[in-house]
Amino acid sequence: MLDIRFIRENPDAVKENIRKKFQEEKLPLVDQVIELDRRNREAMTEANNLRSARNTLSKQVGMLMGQAKKDPSKLEEAEAAKAQVKANAERLAELERLEDELAKEIHKIMLVIPQMIDPSVPIGPDDSANVEVQRFGDPVVPDYEIPYHTDIMDRFDGIDLDAAGRVSGAGFYYLMGDIARLHEAVLAYARDFMINKGFTFCIPPFMIHGNVVEGVMSQTDMDAMMYKIEGEDLYLIGTSEHSMIGKFIDQIIPEDKLPQTLTSYSPCFRKEKGSHGIEERGVYRIHQFEKQEMIVVCKPEDSMAWYEKMWQYSVELFRSMDIPVRQLECCSGDLADLKVKSCDIEAWSPRQKKYFEVCSCSNLGDAQARRLKMRVKGENGTYLPHTLNNTVVAPPRMLIAFLENNLQADGTVKIPEVLWPYMGGTQVLVPKH
């Protein structure tokens, strides 16, 4: 969310930013919110003047009423002053109601106007205009067949989608045996990987209030993703970033406590509306999964440096498990409204002979901080911090990349050395059939 003063002083820049995001339908909102802000400031000025005059008039009424006891001719003047006090009080109440109404209208529009994107973001209407920046590792296609990921799992008796369908419906799964153990091994390794980078491990709440949801994501994303608990002001988190950034709602952080670097484990719950193709079945796009996340709260001048570090951590993690990846810069039209800059880390799929998303690294500038009323107390006063987030690993989708890239010609799956301690020393998974 932008500062209303910034919109007031830079309306053309805000409109140009909206055009760059291909959201022309939002252009009228800029003039609307500026007009509402003008009316609100006029109402506030008039209300403040009335409050300032209130004490003076009250003293005047008291003085005139005292004089009227000795001189009845003063009574009419005293009554006029009393009437003015009453009229002012009624007008003040009217202005306060107007201020509240205007403030709500302004806030509603401000939640919809997108954050200013970084100048380095490529311009394009949707993800088809995202730009490959660099590759890490060789994308190999072996000379033997790579089956669909659920077929690989089936060879190890590692997945049961039918039972999950009976119990929970489509979009859920049972992981079993070696595959379930591999899933947890990857999460544990990712946790320790981030701890070794200096991040503090955290297990956050898995449900959050509506004001936190509003603070961390756009209304469009909220409607598309979040499950609400019926009858309560609670939502299931779609990613632990929501509750991790929400941890700082209404807080003033001492500057010497920055940066806040946290890595969190959580289950995640998502509606995942719409139909998806064959490549997004199995455990690719599901309603429930587990995830290791990283978030950073830092000084504004440090956020881009943290952005570079964070996506590089993803590359390092995946390469340590022998998975080729690439960095893909997200274009303007593919950025969520709160994001300043974002990139995806995509893993190589030797079966599909293409890359697919496994991590998303985002710099949100001060958007979440402003919405959540987060502040930093520094030597020269308070200011808004910047917030960033990135997927460390989301195993169901990551398992696809892992199994495809570590599957051997004889049907076994090689376990990279970094995972041996988390797999009880197992170096190779042998299929049961």
Domain boundaries, the chain: 4-110, 127-429
Model pTM? 0.89
What 3-state class would DSSP assign to 256? helix
Closest CA to 351 of 158, 148, 151, 135: 148
Question: What is the CATH number assigned to the segment(s) 4-110?
Answer: 1.10.287.40
315 backbone dihedrals φ, ψ, rounded to 5°: -60, -45
Contacts of 317 (CB under 8 A, 6+ apart): 190, 193, 392, 393
Residue type present at position 123: I
What 3-state class would DSSP assign to 357? strand
| 127-429 placed in CATH 3.40.50.2300 | no
In angstroms, the CA 55 to CA 78 distance is 15
Closest CA to 15 of 32, 4, 30, 25: 30
Burial class (CB in 10 A: 0-12, 13-18, 19+), 411: middle
Instruction: Please state whether beta strands 207-208 and 174-175 pair in parallel, antiparallel, or not at all (unpaired).
Output: unpaired
3-state secondary structure 154-182: HHCCCEEHHHHHHHCCCCCCEECHHHHHH
Instruction: Please state whether beta strands 386-393 and 354-363 pair in parallel, antiparallel, or not at all (unpaired).
Output: antiparallel
pLDDT by residue for the chain (433 residues), tens only, comes to 899 999 999 999 999 999 999 999 999 999 999 999 999 999 999 998 888 777 666 666 566 566 665 666 666 666 676 677 778 888 999 999 999 999 999 999 999 999 999 999 999 999 999 999 999 999 999 999 999 999 999 999 999 999 999 999 988 999 999 999 999 999 999 999 999 999 999 999 999 999 999 999 887 777 778 899 999 999 999 999 999 999 999 999 999 999 999 999 999 999 876 545 545 567 878 899 999 999 999 999 999 999 999 999 999 999 999 999 999 999 999 999 999 999 999 999 999 999 999 999 999 999 999 999 999 999 999 999 999 999 999 988 899 999 999 999 999 999 999 999 999 999 999 999 8
The two structure tokens encoding residue 329:
């810069």
